[in-house]
Amino acid sequence: MTQPPVQPTRRALLAAGFAFSPLMGALASLTALTVLGGCSREEGWPEGMQPIKWDRDTCNRCRMVISDRRFAVGLAGAGPRQLFNFDDIGCAVFWLRDQAQAHPWMAEPTTRLWVADVFSRGAMPQWLDARLAQYLTKTSPMGYNFGATRHPQAGSVDFRTMGEHVLARAR
């Protein structure tokens, strides 16, 4: 005849270091929620930006895979399905011009445009407001050859001037 499994007693569990109390239960639940809540938003991405899956996501304009983190661009409107990523600021400039009529929300003040700092190192770039960034001549994925930086430097230009140079290439 087999014996039923022995259930540990509260005293045995306490002796082994387990503590059961309403306070410990609440603390364990709060810890679990904090850990799980932290997984809902990937760290390092600006609020509202669509996280880029490096080497898998493609540019919304040229359809090239977004690989070089130093030149990535993100665009977000206020509504759903208004998230776009680009592999080069030049692609973003052309897309903004070409899609203005189809996406009038892009002219709204709530629309955000981010660009990676070309001097970023590591897995996650530093994100800048593309309209406030300065642009230096740097070899870029699509050959528009502008990289963003936070502060003005010798030879840097603002967003408007960079956009004019890109559009003058007309490709």
Q: Residue 114 belongs to what H/E stretch?
A: strand 112-116
Does residue 46 come out as left (phi exceeding 0), alpha (psi in the -120 to 50 range) or beta?
beta
pLDDT the model gives residue 68: 95
The tens digit of pLDDT for each residue in 54-65 reads 999 999 999 999
pLDDT the model gives residue 168: 94
Band (163; pLDDT cuts 50, 70, 90)? very high
Mean pLDDT for the stretch of residues 65-89: 91
- Cα 102 to Cα 24: distance, rounded to the nearest angstrom: 55
Q: Is the pLDDT of residue 85 over 60?
A: yes
Band (32; pLDDT cuts 50, 70, 90)? very low
- Cα 20 to Cα 10: distance, rounded to the nearest angstrom: 8
Mean pLDDT for the stretch of residues 100-116: 91
Q: Residue 92 belongs to what H/E stretch?
A: helix 89-98
More confident residue, 39 or 59: 59
Q: Is the pLDDT of residue 147 over 80?
A: yes
Q: So where are the chain's domains? A: 7-40, 69-168
- Cα 66 to Cα 87: distance, rounded to the nearest angstrom: 5
Q: Is the pLDDT of residue 137 over 90?
A: yes
More confident residue, 166 or 20: 166
Backbone angles phi, psi at 148, to 5 degrees: -90, 145
pLDDT the model gives residue 49: 86
- AA identity, residue 2: T
Mean pLDDT for the stretch of residues 139-161: 96
- Cα 9 to Cα 75: distance, rounded to the nearest angstrom: 58
Q: Is the pLDDT of residue 79 over 80?
A: no
- Cα 149 to Cα 134: distance, rounded to the nearest angstrom: 5
